[in-house]
Amino acid sequence: MLALLLQTFSITAPVFAMLFLGVLLRRVGAINPEFIQTASALVFNATMPAMLFLGIYHSDLHSAARPEVLLYFCAATLAGFLLAWGWAVWRVPREERGVYVQGSFRGNNGIIGLALATSLYGEHGLALGSVLAALVILCYNTLSSVVLAIYSPSMKSDPLSIARNVICNPLIISVLAALPFSWFGIGLPQWLLTSADYFAQMTLPLALVCIGGTLSLASLRESGGLAISASLMKMVWLPLICTFVAWALGFRGAELGILFLYFASPTAAASYVMARAANGNHELAASIIVITTLVAALTTNVGIFVLQWGGWM
């Protein structure tokens, strides 16, 4: 458990370092709201699509992942999304619902989930985690685009406009573009891959600095209740329900462990970028990311301890 705790900390500590750097840079005037808006647009439209393309391109989509695992993950993700949305309709002000729902179900699986899966299960964890990651990106970005468009103050919410927003989402386009390259093993020139990797490496530092630059004690206090509610949904209730159902359906070993890690990952930094692109409450999105990332070090270890204690993973 100590080794796992240190592993979790080694993954989350750089995230917080970039967040606090953003806070510091904003405080000393090195960055301003105009920079944050421009940089967030660059991440959403260019660097993050490049990162997702490369992630899928290098994934082994032919690895031994049972269809049952993939189907269950899709079904559980959709169910969690609908549960969070139903709760938001009941308890959350309308203008905040899109950001709330996205923060409640969208996990940071491509970084934290995959890293922990690889740490626990080695090559098998990397293979299964990579296949799930491809599925994650499509599910999360599609569902997030739908709910953000419905509640966005600037985006049209009729079915045709929502479908257009989903289809034209740069993150989804990059994933769909990468799938045939990965599936059929189509190679790209090494110089192009290296250049794309240089470009993609800006994504997380830039996105996290922007999130940090948005944070303030005032914004945390203003969004405190909603941010805590969304964080509890993301880090406690959905992982508990989805993992229990997976256990009840007979998933065991690495499959159950990796499913838990993916359900229990903190909210993805991409949720802030998409909230900002939709003119939603990006301060609420930033608060949810910070809280869930902080809580993940505790809830992830507790969940793994329980699953190992029961001999289920």
**Length of the chain measured in residues:** 313
pLDDT of residue 63: 66
State the sign of the Cα–Cα–Cα–Cα dihedral 32, 148, 81, 200: negative
**Which domain, by its residues, includes 293?**
2-309
For the residues of 90-136, what is the DSSP string, one character each? Answer: HHS-GGGHHHHHHHHH-B-IIIIIHHHHHHHHHHHHHHHHHHHHHHH
Other beta carbons within 10 Å of 113: 28
- Contact between 232 and 103 under an 8 Å Cβ cutoff? The reply is no
What are the pLDDT tens digits along the chain (313 aa)?
677 667 667 767 787 788 889 989 999 999 998 999 899 889 989 998 898 888 888 877 776 567 899 999 999 999 999 999 999 999 999 999 999 999 999 998 867 787 788 777 876 776 677 778 778 888 898 899 899 999 988 777 678 887 887 888 888 888 889 889 988 889 999 999 999 999 999 988 898 899 888 877 676 777 788 999 999 999 999 999 999 999 999 999 989 999 999 999 989 888 998 998 889 998 899 999 988 888 887 898 888 888 888 889 8
Residues 6 or more apart whose CB falls under 8 angstroms from that of 237 comprise none
pLDDT of residue 65: 63
Q: How many distinct structural domains can be found in the chain?
A: 1
CA distance 41 to 233: 28
- Determine the residue type at 54: L
pLDDT of residue 306: 86
Query: CATH number for the domain including 254?
Result: 1.20.1530.20
The residue whose two tokens read 């948005």 is 214
CA distance 67 to 170: 27
Other beta carbons within 10 Å of 311: 8
- Contact between 57 and 181 under an 8 Å Cβ cutoff? The reply is yes
Measured between its terminal Cα atoms, the distance across the chain in Å is 14
- Contact between 99 and 261 under an 8 Å Cβ cutoff? The reply is no
State the sign of the Cα–Cα–Cα–Cα dihedral 245, 256, 113, 62: negative
